[in-house]
A and B are shown apart, each in its own frame.
Chain A
Amino acid sequence: MTNRLEIKLWLAHRLTGMALGLFVIIHLITMIVVIQGGLSAAEIMERTSSNILVVIFYGLFVIAAAIHGSLGLRTVAQEVLSWRGSSLNFVILVFFALLCVLGMVAIKGLVL
């Protein structure tokens, strides 16, 4: 890994962190507001189904969380486990792809 790439990955972690700051505040407020009285599928779907804003918001949220979470795990693996190199990058890429796919499937389930 070149230093230039490492700097780009550090910047990506910070920039996605900034975006997630906004997304997570909205998500936390939503969770605290909607939990009262319990959750039901019908109640969730009523808010989310056929709502293009939900797709845009959660689409960006999933991508930012997938990048931020994957890069964070990569840093921890490097510093705590001293695991470096292409094997680590491959596992992190697989985790990133898994998060993107599962996240998009979740949005599809909530919106369609």
Chain B
Amino acid sequence: MNQNRDKKEYWASFVQRWSGVVLALFLPVHFWVLSLALQGGEVLDGFLHWTDVPLVKFAEAGLISLLAVHLLGGFRILIIEFFRWAEWQSNLIAVAIGGSFACGLLFLLRAF
């Protein structure tokens, strides 16, 4: 597979795999933060206040971009696996990249 590094499909597979790993490992942290609400609103607010800084907002935008690229890349895989191949499907990698950037930027625009 490493011989195909000059092909966009190789990098689509690479991004799909490692974005999935990052998102899966982030899930326990995400759930733990939300569960702080059980200890009272002020505990959750304390954490949310800590996240209200530019660096964390950029990190959150990065996670949103990863989620969007994994979502759109996942749609691409499902379409390739479950439908007959058609030329337009080769554009789905560009759609995934564009959609991912759009989601991240939209989040940043609204967060600041």
* Pair count A-B, CB < 8 A: 101
Contacts of B15 in A (CB 8 A): none
- Given A109-B35, A109-B38, decide whether A72 and B67 contact each other with a Cβ distance below 8 A: no
Decide: B71 and A28 in contact? CB cutoff 8 A: yes
Decide: B35 and A45 in contact? CB cutoff 8 A: no
A105 to B21, CA, bound (A): 23
CB distance from A58 to the nearest CB of B (A): 9
CB distance from B109 to the nearest CB of A (A): 9
- The interface residues of chain A, by DSSP majority, are classed as helix
* Interface of B toward A, CB cutoff 8 Å: 17, 20-21, 23-24, 27-28, 30-38, 41-42, 44-45, 48, 51-52, 64, 67-68, 71, 74-75, 77-78, 81, 103, 106-107, 110-111
* Pairs A-B, 4 closest by C-beta atoms: A69-B24, A109-B37, A106-B34, A102-B31
Contacts of A65 in B (CB 8 A): 27
Q: By the criterion of a CB under 8 Å from any partner CB, how many residues of chain A are at the interface?
A: 40
Which residue in B20, B37, B64, B78 is a CB contact (below 8 Å) of A45? B37
Q: A41-B45, A103-B27 are in contact. List 8 more A-B contacts (CB 8 A).
A: A25-B71, A28-B64, A45-B37, A98-B28, A99-B31, A108-B35, A109-B38, A110-B37
